């Protein structure tokens, strides 16, 4: 029960941070490098908040992606999967990225790539195994 609430919390945090990051960064369509850098330099608070939201959001989304991938691997290995947690993660992540993609496609793709790579790196398939240490 608590794991499902944590997954829902991670989805909401990822969505909120992604939205705030997109809102606080300068527009990237059409992309003008000088305008983008100038906006970042002359609005340091917005730039810092956007970077902080990017970091927090992609970490939250990476945790959800890790849960989704771990559930898929457990299902393929024919082990027990927490279906409620997995369903909340899948539906929340797909809805979150769809809504963010409608707001700003380029930044959402970048956000998703970072989240996906970090989520895959942080997978631990051997967590459930217990090894005996010989001393």
Whole-prediction pTM: 0.82
Dump pLDDT digits (tens) for 16-64: 999 999 999 887 778 788 888 888 889 899 999 999 999 999 999 999 9
C-alpha–C-alpha distance, residues 19 and 17, integer Å: 5
Give the pLDDT score at 134.
39
With respect to residue 36, please indicate whether it lies within any of the assigned structural domains. Answer: yes
Region of 132 please: left (phi>0), alpha (psi -120 to 50) or beta. beta
Dump pLDDT digits (tens) for 115-125: 999 988 887 76
Domains identified in the chain, total number: 1
With respect to residue 126, please indicate whether it lies within any of the assigned structural domains. Answer: no
With respect to residue 131, please indicate whether it lies within any of the assigned structural domains. Answer: no
With respect to residue 86, please indicate whether it lies within any of the assigned structural domains. Answer: yes
Kindly write down the DSSP assignment for every residue of 15-69, as one continuous string. Answer: HHHHHHHHHHSPP-SS--HHHHHHHHHH-HHHHHHHHHHHHHHHHHHHHHHHHHH
C-alpha–C-alpha distance, residues 38 and 31, integer Å: 12
| Residues above pLDDT 70, as percent of the chain | 92
With respect to residue 129, please indicate whether it lies within any of the assigned structural domains. Answer: no
With respect to residue 79, please indicate whether it lies within any of the assigned structural domains. Answer: yes
Largest Cα–Cα distance in the chain?
A: 63
Q: What is the dihedral of CA 128, 91, 95, 98, to 10 degrees?
A: 70
With respect to residue 50, please indicate whether it lies within any of the assigned structural domains. Answer: yes
With respect to residue 61, please indicate whether it lies within any of the assigned structural domains. Answer: yes
Give the pLDDT score at 15.
95
**Domain assignment of residue 60, given as a range:** 2-121
Task: Quote the Cα angle for 124-3-116, to 5°.
Answer: 45
Question: Count H helices, E strands: the chain?
Answer: 5, 0
């Amino acid at each position: 029960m608590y794991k499902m609430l944590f997954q829902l919390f991670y989805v909401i945090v990822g969505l909120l941070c992604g939205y705030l990051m997109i809102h606080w960064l300068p527009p990237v369509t059409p992309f003008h490098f000088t305008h983008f850098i100038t906006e970042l330099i002359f609005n340091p608070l917005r730039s810092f908040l956007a970077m902080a939201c990017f970091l927090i959001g992609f970490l939250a989304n990476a945790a959800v992606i890790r849960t989704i991938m771990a559930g898929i691997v457990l299902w393929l290995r024919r082990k027990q999967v927490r279906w409620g947690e997995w369903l909340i993660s899948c539906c929340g992540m797909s809805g979150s990225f769809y809504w963010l993609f409608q707001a700003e496609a380029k930044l959402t793709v970048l956000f998703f790539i970072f989240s996906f790579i970090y989520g895959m790196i942080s997978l631990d398939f051997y967590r459930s195994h217990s090894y005996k240490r010989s001393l």
